[in-house]
Chains A and B, each alone.
Chain A
Amino acid sequence: MTRYDDLGDIPSLADDPGSLAVARRLLRADFSRESAVRGSLRARLLAPETAAPSWAPIARVLVSAAAAAALLLAPLRLGRRDDAHVLPRGERGLPVLPGSIPARPGAVEERLIVTKRVGALIETSAGRRVPTPRGSMILWRLDGVEYALETRRTTLEEIFEKRAL
C-alpha cells in the first residue's frame, strides 16, 4: 500500500522539481504544536465524568430491575387469574367485546365506595340513549339539570379555531 509520504502516486512530480519541493515542505509541516488545547482537551474528554458511558453496567441494572418487578407482579397476576373474565363467543367462535363487563355482585360489595351526601351527585336520566344525526348521546342529570354526554364524529375545524393573520 502507498504510504502518504511516498509521493510516487502523484504523476509527473519527478519531472516537476518545483512541485516536488512544495510537496516535501507540506509533508514536513506540523501545525499541531501550535494547538492550545491538545492537552486540556484530552484531559477533559478522558475525565471519568465525560467519558462515554459503558452500557454493560446500565444493562445489568435494568435486567435486575426487570427481574425484581417480575417477582413482585407475579403473585398479583396469579391472584387475578381466578377472576379472569371469559369473553362471550359470537359467530364462528370469535370473541364479542361487550359494551361493558358486568361486575360480579360480591366484588362490587367489597369495593363499594361510600360517599357522603354533601354536594351534587350525578345520576343518569333513566339511562336515556338519544340518537343524534352523527352518533348518539346519553343524558345525565345533575341537580335537576340535564347534560348530554355525546359520541359523534367530529372534524378538526370544529375543535380548532382558524384565525387569519
Chain B
Amino acid sequence: MMPDDRAPTPDFGRIYDENFAKVYNYVRYRVGDAAAADDVVARVFEKALARLSGFDPRRGPAAAWLFAIARSAVIDHFRAKAWFSWLPLDAFHGRPDPAPGSEELLSKDEERRALLESMAVLDEREREILALRFGGGMTNREIAAALELSDANVGVIIHRALKKMKGSLGEDQ
C-alpha cells in the first residue's frame, strides 16, 4: 500500500480560533487604531481562507503562515494610508470607545492606550519586532527567521525598544 502524500485538510475554524488574538494584537501594535486593525485583520483571514488549499501543516505551523500574510497586509495598509493621506481626517469616523463596565475595564483600556502611545517613540523595525514578539507571541528565533536577522540581533533590538518605552510608561525609576 502506498503512503498517502497528500497534505491533510487544514481546519480553518481551528486556525482562526487559535490565532485570532495573536494576529489582532500584532496588527493593533502596528496600526494603532482599532477600526483599522479590524479591517486589516479581516483581510488577513480572508486571504488565508483563499489560500488555504496551498497551506501544508507539515511544512510549518499555521501561525508562521498567517503572520507572513499579516505582515504583508500591514504593509499594504500603510501604502494605502500614504496614498490617501491627503484626505481630511473628518473623512474617517473613529469608533467610539466602548463604555467601560467597571473600573478594572477602564484601567485596562487606559493601560492598553498607554502602551500603544509609548510605542510612538520606536522606529519602524523596533515596532515591527515588538509587535511580533508581544502581539504575535513569536519567539526571538521565529522573528529572526521571518525577518532574516540573527536571534541575538532580535534580542538586542527588543531590549533597546523596551528601554525607549519605559520613560513614557513611568518605569524608568
Contact = CB atoms under 8 A, between A and B. Distances in A.
Contacts of B25: 29-32
B169 A45 contact: no
Nearest to A56: B9
A25 interface: yes
Contacts, number: 126
A2 interface: yes
User: Chain B interface mostly helix, strand, loop or mixed?
Assistant: helix
A27 to B, nearest CB: 6
Given A10-B155, A25-B115, A45-B49, A18 B13 contact: no
A10 B158 CA distance: 7
Interface residues of B, number: 52
A25 B166 CA distance: 11
Interface string A34-57: 111110011001100011101100
Nearest to B97: A34
A4 interface: yes
Given A32-B20, A37-B38, A42 B13 contact: yes
A30 B37 CA distance: 13
A11 B153 CA distance: 10
A9 interface: yes
Contacts of A42: 13, 16-17, 20
Interface string B38-78: 10011001100110110000000000000000000000000
A41 B139 contact: no
Contacts of B29: 31
Contacts of A31: 24-25, 28-29, 34, 37, 112, 135
Nearest to A26: B134
